[in-house]
A and B are shown apart, each in its own frame.
Chain A
Amino acid sequence: MEPAKMASPKSAPKDAQVMAQILKDMGITEYEPRVINQMLEFAYRYVTTILEDAKIYSSHAKKSTVDADDVRLAIQCRTDQSFTSPPPRDFLLDIARQKNQTPLPLIKPYSGPRLPPDRYCLTAPNYRLKSLQKKVSSSAGRITVPRLSVGAVSSRPSTPTLGTPSAQTVSVSAKVGTPVSLTGQRFTVQIPSSQAAVKSATPTTPTVQNVLINPSLIGPKNILITTNMVSAQNTSNDPNPLKRKHEDDDDYDAL
């Protein structure tokens, strides 16, 4: 993108010329030509929002015309919403003084990865597997492709992976064998429950496997997620081995 020339072309509309002059007055000499369009758009959007608000206020006050007070009120309300500014200096100095009074906490040695309590981390699974009504089959070989698209819940509403009503579940699992049909609209995931040994081994690892995937990046294909060994039942029954032991979980609540 080349930087714009200083003078705007003579055929530019008056508003665009005004914008170019503003940029020149503020000392900005190099800018992409689209900046003027963005500024125009912003100005138009802002002014129409304010004027619409002002119309509402004036009709609420049963006035016949919109006057300066309505506009002033509209501006004030919008400023508090959209254009917030950072806190004032005395407030910052005050909270800084408070924070800086507490001594630095001692560090416990040999405590593994030093992360905040689980509820402040992003390491929890962000999906839940629906358990089957019927008994889960015990054959380990039937772990079928846990082709579970996490983001698809939001991006492809036609694939209700998690929200499968039980009736359908029953019908699916009535079939012997494959619970998975990728072409079909719904599928459930069966995961054998004999994973107790795994959970205790590395409690941290399952939790960090759950990748926070940006739904917009999921294409038409489903994503293969490395299997989360959390069985559906276990999410509700046995959450403790999954959570890291943090005795002082509550210490962090107080300021």
Chain B
Amino acid sequence: DRQTLVAVLQFLRRSNLRESEEILRREARLLGDDLGGGSVATVASSSPGVAAVAAVPPGKGGARAGAAGSLPGAGGRSLPAGPLGTWGALFGGGVVVEDQPDVSAVLSAYNQQGDPTLYEEYYSGLKHFIECSLDCHRAELSQLFYPLFVHMYLELVYNQHESEAKSFFERFHGDQECYYQDDLRVLSSLTKKEHMKGNETMLDFRTSKFVLRISRDSYQLLKRHLQEKQNNQIWNIVQEHLYIDIFDGMPRSKQQIDAMVGSLAGEAKREANKAKVFFGLLKEPEFDVPLDDEDEEGENEEGKPKKKKPKKDSAGSKSKKQDPNAPPQNRIPLPELKDSDKLDKVMNMKEAARRVRLGPECLPSICFYTFLNAYQGLTAVDITDDSSMIVGGFADSTVRVWSVTPKKLRSVKTAADLSLIDKESDDVLERIMDEKTASELKILYGHSGPVYGTSFSPDRNYLLSCSEDGTVRLWSLQTFTCLVGYKGHNYPVWDTQFSPYGYYFVSGGHDRVARLWATDHYQPLRIFAGHLADVTCTRFHPNSNYIATGSADRTVRLWDVLNGNCVRIFTGHKGPIHSLAFSPNGRFLATGATDGRVLLWDIGHGLMVGELKGHTDTIYALRFSRDGEILASGSMDNTVRLWDAVKAFEDLETDDFTTATGHINLPENSQDLLLGTYMTKSTPVIHLHFTRRNLLLAAGAYSSQ
């Protein structure tokens, strides 16, 4: 109803029927106030007036912001002066326009800007200018080509100049960088305005600002050139769709730029990576380990005065001081340790004592689990922490659990039998198991689509699986039945993972958000929205306070579980990200994508610290060894590669300039860091797992081609 009112108002305005417009607006305002909007702001069309209105953030649905032209309802963005100037010139006087919260408002962000046939002239003029500029500036200014090209093309399409759009595309698409080719191919199929409506990724691309990092000198050069031209259409587009993050210092070289660009939204703004991240690990409680002879001092470690007293009593811990980079113990609520968890931890410590120390001289042995007869249906694999069970998620919607130790999988006895057992006996946990149901394989049915992600809980009681049917299912590994189906994503869910402490889990899917759930809430606790394309990979940080998500928009974001904020944005990959791995000390993140590169990031500083080249196809599996000395990567090119993580992370240059600007000079040392390449027999590697003793397990499905 409101929409039709707005449409009528606009029509009257366009036809210059002022009086009828005033009358209608007066009456409509009465109705509108009943609907409960914000205050109506009438604004003169001069620029300062427009700027004042821009200060009123356009709320979503309901609030009326006065400005010429309809505005996209996304967040509070500063309004460009250019297009508004043109509208204002047409109307004069006070104009009021409703804020349309639907998609058409987003689409109509593109106003008529200049003659469509001249777009090619503008673009080639800019191209000529940049090519004639000084070498040091050229690399930086070349970053402008791609976003400008896309935005100009989309504007031509939106304003229905199809033939001009096609010829524009034909002429200039070959000039773009090679890593944008996939995007350009998608773009070439968008030739009509109707095509744009269903494509959420393209819509997001146009409403979010493409971020470019340019040095001050280059920026001055560009600005001077664009403003002195008569038709400064390009300047308008730059102001409207690009965010130029200016830094003081040397312009960057092509190599530096190439390392960081590639994502759908340009690079990350510098302040996006400035928030403090608690990347340290939580204190582990100490136990009376039978073989341990440590005498317990019996003193609590002193925390910093500001921090609250930790919940868990850590008697006799080796480091007395609280790690300043570690989050407070109760920053997020975590489940308490049960007796079974404590037993598990004792086992873990015993195994850790027998762990093999890995290094360049001592490489791990690799044990490969090949799934035969899967007919390319194996879509997800997970292995428990103690390496006792393997689960496979398949394209036929089944989830299959295998026991890889001689101990078979058993389900709990029925209620009748359970009443007969002696509950006080010591081995009650064995007695509740039904021997008749022992088998090596259990098949779990329930999903109605391919299963794309699986995750065991740390206490091995639960299993999660997420699927194309949009649900995440929780299965009990004691009864081998489905307990809960969590519905929230209505679109395929690509990945899910339990928190290292259990209870929480994260899922990410096609709807471009990641959700944090707890097993006892049927709705998500947190929604992490911000990616421009599907979230393909989700991982918890070892301290469970942060979640990393990799997406098809080629960025990796780090989110804070406490308040849902995005604390880090890492750009640099040239393809959708399919694997993430945190280092065991929590300081570093390794990411792998379809471009075959593994990138290493320092979480604390928010910088890229390494690039491992070698794989030739998508990297689906990444894992650090138990003490973080070796990084293993598995890929679709049927190889497992081992990299020296210790060497990759030493000598990090973190001088002031680097921290301020985020610009790094990556050494070309992939060959030095590569410790070994191991080929499988045409089996892509989709999962890697280091056992507690640092044996590397890998899993994949044999594919005969």
Contact = CB atoms under 8 A, between A and B. Distances in A.
B189 interface: yes
B333 A104 contact: yes
Nearest to A3: B705
B124 interface: no
A121 B484 contact: yes
Contact of A99 (B60, B503, B562, B564): B564
Interface in B164-188: 181-182, 185, 188
B55 interface: no
Contacts of A117: 522
Interface string B324-336: 0000000011111
A114 B498 CA distance: 14
B529 A120 contact: no
A85 B419 contact: no
A211 B419 contact: no
A94 B60 contact: yes
Interface stretch (A55-63, A165-173, A176-184, A202-210): A202-210
A3 B376 CA distance: 13
B122 interface: no
B529 A83 contact: no
A109 B336 contact: yes
Interface in A1-58: 1-3, 25-27
Interface in B498-534: 503, 510-513, 518-530, 532
A86 B415 contact: no
Contacts of B485: 122
Contact of B419 (A96, A109, A197): A197
A86 B416 contact: no
Contacts of A208: 476, 479, 481, 483
Interface in A234-255: 252, 255
Nearest to A30: B705
A104 B563 CA distance: 9
Interface string A225-240: 0111100000000000
B527 A96 contact: yes
A77 B522 CA distance: 33
Interface residues of B, number: 69
A136 interface: no
Contact of B525 (A27, A104, A195, A213): A104
Given A116-B521, A116-B522, A110 B73 contact: no
Contacts of B199: 85
B60 A83 contact: no
Nearest to A216: B445
Contact of A85 (B73, B198, B530): B198
Given A96-B529, A198-B416, A206-B415, A213 B60 contact: no
A116 B60 CA distance: 32
B75 A93 contact: yes
Contacts of A226: 414
Contact of A123 (B75, B483, B519): B483
Interface stretch (B44-52, B200-208, B400-408, B604-612): B200-208
B412 interface: yes
Given A88-B103, A122-B485, A96 B513 contact: yes
Nearest to B489: A86
B262 interface: no
Given A27-B185, A85-B198, A105-B521, A92 B512 contact: yes
B491 interface: yes
A115 interface: yes
A2 B419 contact: no
Contacts of B526: 96, 99-100, 104
B369 to A, nearest CB: 24
Contacts of A115: 474, 483-484, 519-520
B634 interface: no
B107 to A, nearest CB: 11
Contact of A107 (B446, B481, B503, B562): B503
A68 interface: no
Given A120-B522, A121-B483, A201-B418, A104 B332 contact: yes
B603 interface: no
A231 to B, nearest CB: 12
Given A100-B527, A104-B562, A209-B479, A90 B60 contact: yes
Contact of B530 (A79, A93, A99, A109): A93
B73 to A, nearest CB: 5
B482 interface: yes
A121 B592 CA distance: 36
B106 interface: yes
Nearest to B516: A104
B74 interface: yes
B106 A88 contact: yes
B527 A198 contact: no
Contact of B513 (A92, A201, A217): A92
Interface in A139-163: none
A198 B483 contact: no
B72 interface: yes
B346 to A, nearest CB: 20
Given A87-B511, A90-B72, A79 B185 contact: no
Contacts of B580: none
A252 B335 contact: no
Contacts of B565: 100
Among all A-B residue pairs, the 6 with the closest Cβ atoms: A100-B564, A120-B522, A96-B529, A86-B511, A92-B529, A90-B74
Interface of B: 60, 72-75, 101, 103, 106, 181-182, 185, 188-189, 198-200, 203-204, 207-208, 332-336, 412, 414-416, 418-419, 445-446, 461, 474, 476, 479, 481-485, 490-491, 503, 510-513, 518-530, 532, 561-565, 705
6 contacts: A90-B74, A93-B530, A96-B529, A105-B521, A113-B483, A205-B412
Given A27-B181, A106-B333, A205-B418, 13 more contacts: A3-B705, A83-B198, A86-B511, A86-B512, A96-B527, A102-B525, A107-B335, A115-B519, A121-B484, A122-B446, A209-B481, A217-B445, A226-B414
